[in-house]
Amino acid sequence: MSERKLRRMSRTELIDVIDTLRQDETPQDTEALRRVDAERKRLTERRRFWRVLRGTVSTLIVVAAIAVLLATLLLPVLQVSGDSMNPTLQDKDIILLVKTGDMKTGDLCGFYWQNKLLLKRVIGLPGDVITLDEDGVVTVNGQTLDEPYVDELALGECDIEFPYQVPENRYFVLGDHRATSIDSRSSVIGSVEKSQIVGKVFLRVWPLSGFSLMS
């Protein structure tokens, strides 16, 4: 029996051929039996391979779907663009945000502005009174704000009047790199509506050397 004919047979047909040869085996059938049995094993291994492959692909599809769902609904992914959050976040860093309506002073938040997703730090909550002097020192409700995350204080681009009371359902936000950041000090952006906020930054995932929880 030729190799070509054997390869065209199904596994069931090969088993039938093996049974027939074994019932009335002759020396001439020994080689044929060996070849048929080898082909049967090859088919069995091939079926096992495709079964494992299908299972693996199905698992990966499910995992990917869950990851996309989480990223869309719970954990938006964002790549940092620019230096307005230096030194806390660097250009090209990749971070995860968690969706929450509970923002606190000092939280890093992502929010939509003119179809762009911006990153800033929450400085003032609704109702807070903010002042900013010429040296860039921030005062909230009469208390000077301790800002260890800022390398160098600066007034920056500022065209609003102080003291400034944060309106209801809005947040006053600043970038950590005060000299270059465009933020709530500028009337271009102003205070950020609660509905604009996508979430709170909680994890930096890239670069790996900077992998860390963000607080």
Q: Is 84 a catalytic residue?
A: yes
Q: Which CATH number fits domain 77-213: 3.40.50.620, 2.10.109.10, 3.40.1190.20, 2.10.10.90?
A: 2.10.109.10
Q: pLDDT per residue over 18-47, tens digit each?
A: 566 555 555 555 666 677 667 667 777 877
Catalytic residue among 10, 84, 195, 209: 84
Q: pLDDT per residue over 132-181, tens digit each?
A: 999 999 999 999 999 999 999 999 999 999 999 999 999 999 999 999 99
Residue pointed to by tokens 């950041």: 181
Q: Are 123 and 130 in contact (CB under 8 A)?
A: yes
Which tokens hold the place of 51?
Answer: 């079964």
Catalytic residue among 120, 181, 184, 200: 120
Give the predicted TM-score (pTM) of the model: 0.66
Q: In what order do the strands lie in the sheet with 129-132?
A: 143-144, 138-140, 129-132, 164-165
